[in-house]
């Protein structure tokens, strides 16, 4: 894939696809290392081995959750592919088209679904091993934006999770073969002869920047926390804020909305096209739930009590 970003080019179509998977793997492994190191240092575990075991189950739960939420928001597209293969009598492609929903390597993962699936895996694992939930969750929460940062850079390389049309000079133009170009062509927004998409907001990089900032905030919170769960609270509230803001600039057509709210005045102020609603996407709705959960956790943590061993994640 070749991406043009204010004169910067990344050449080689296959490089983008492979870079996506490589960066996801790097982010996951780095996040596991950060979490294991923190759990070992704060005494949540005698060593980091249980957290490394937990990471396997987080991977399984996250993949399942991310795929399930994606399929829940885009069920008809996969049914249509299977039906078309049968209708065309293409025996050689029927199996592939009808099992496309299982082909996670082709994309189609929703972060919040992965977060929910991973959280379920954590709850099951710590209960099974008798580990303290909040100290472990604090260490994992600190690792999340660090690993997620690399994932969003991977999204940029692949051209997925792209933004709305941007003002001239501020956007990213994705070439044929990228996810952004392919989806635009399928939707009839681009002709087959169009070599590049219009300039689009680099929402992948916007979110990556927000995640880097959030990681810095969590490190600051961690060093000053007096109660277990504080880092988890800060992560839930912080990421909800980052994601809600980035969603305003998102333009990928696969997203779904619980309520479609157009905001012409906001669009004009931000220089956005008015073809995509600004609110309320599925991810924005989940962000509201996450923020409410953070608020509830904050109320519980206000109850006066001292931190018992294990100590804050560090």
Higher pLDDT, 151 or 280: 151
- Which DSSP symbol is given to 173? E
What is the tens place of the pLDDT at every residue in 118-164? 999 999 999 998 888 888 888 899 999 999 999 899 888 888 888 88
Token code pair at residue 3: 């991406």
Least confident of 31-40, 51-60, 207-216, 288-297: 288-297
- Alpha-carbon distance of 192 to 176, in angstroms, equals 9
What is the predicted pLDDT for the residue at 309?
Answer: 43
Taking residues 157-184, what's their average pLDDT? 82
Cis peptide before 310 (omega within 30 of 0): yes
What is the predicted pLDDT for the residue at 75?
Answer: 58
Domains of the chain, by residue range, sit at: 3-44+132-301
**Which DSSP string do the residues of 211-261 spell out, in sequence order?**
HHHHHHHHHHHHHH--STTHHHHHHHHHHHHHHHHHHHHB--TT--EEEEE
- Alpha-carbon distance of 277 to 263, in angstroms, equals 7
What is the tens place of the pLDDT at every residue in 57-116? 999 998 888 878 777 766 556 555 666 666 666 655 665 555 555 555 555 667 778 888
- Alpha-carbon distance of 6 to 142, in angstroms, equals 33
Token code pair at residue 100: 């496309």
Q: Is 301 exposed, middle or buried (0-12, 13-18, 19+ CB in 10 A)?
A: middle
């Amino acid at each position: 894939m070749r991406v043009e970003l204010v004169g910067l080019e990344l050449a080689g179509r296959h490089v983008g696809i492979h870079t996506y998977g490589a960066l996801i793997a790097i982010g996951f492994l780095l996040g596991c290392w950060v979490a294991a190191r923190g759990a070992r240092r704060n005494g949540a575990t005698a060593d980091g081995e249980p957290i490394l075991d937990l990471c396997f189950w987080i991977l399984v739960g996250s993949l399942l959750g991310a795929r399930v939420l994606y399929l829940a928001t885009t069920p008809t597209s996969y049914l249509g592919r299977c039906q078309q293969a049968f209708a065309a009598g293409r025996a050689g492609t029927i199996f592939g088209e009808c099992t496309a929903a299982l082909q996670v390597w082709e994309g189609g993962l929703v972060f919040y679904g992965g977060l929910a699936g991973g959280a379920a895996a954590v709850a099951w694992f710590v209960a099974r091993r008798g580990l303290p939930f909040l100290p472990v969750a604090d260490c994992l929460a600190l690792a999340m934006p660090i690993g997620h940062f690399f994932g969003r850079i991977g999204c940029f390389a692949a051209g997925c999770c792209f933004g709305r049309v941007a003002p001239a000079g501020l956007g990213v133009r994705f070439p044929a073969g990228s996810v952004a170009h392919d989806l635009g062509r399928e939707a009839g927004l681009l002709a087959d002869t169009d070599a590049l998409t219009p300039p689009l907001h680099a929402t992948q990089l916007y979110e990556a920047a927000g995640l880097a900032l959030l990681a810095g905030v969590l490190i600051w919170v961690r060093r000053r926390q007096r109660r277990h769960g504080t880092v988890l609270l800060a992560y839930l509230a912080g990421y909800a804020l980052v994601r809600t803001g980035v969603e305003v600039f998102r333009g990928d057509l696969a997203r779904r909305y619980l309520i479609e709210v157009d905001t012409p005045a906001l669009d004009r102020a931000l220089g956005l096209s008015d073809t995509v609603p600004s609110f309320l996407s599925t991810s924005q709705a989940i962000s509201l739930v996450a923020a409410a959960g953070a608020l509830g956790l904050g109320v519980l943590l206000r109850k006066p009590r001292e931190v018992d061993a294990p100590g804050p994640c560090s």
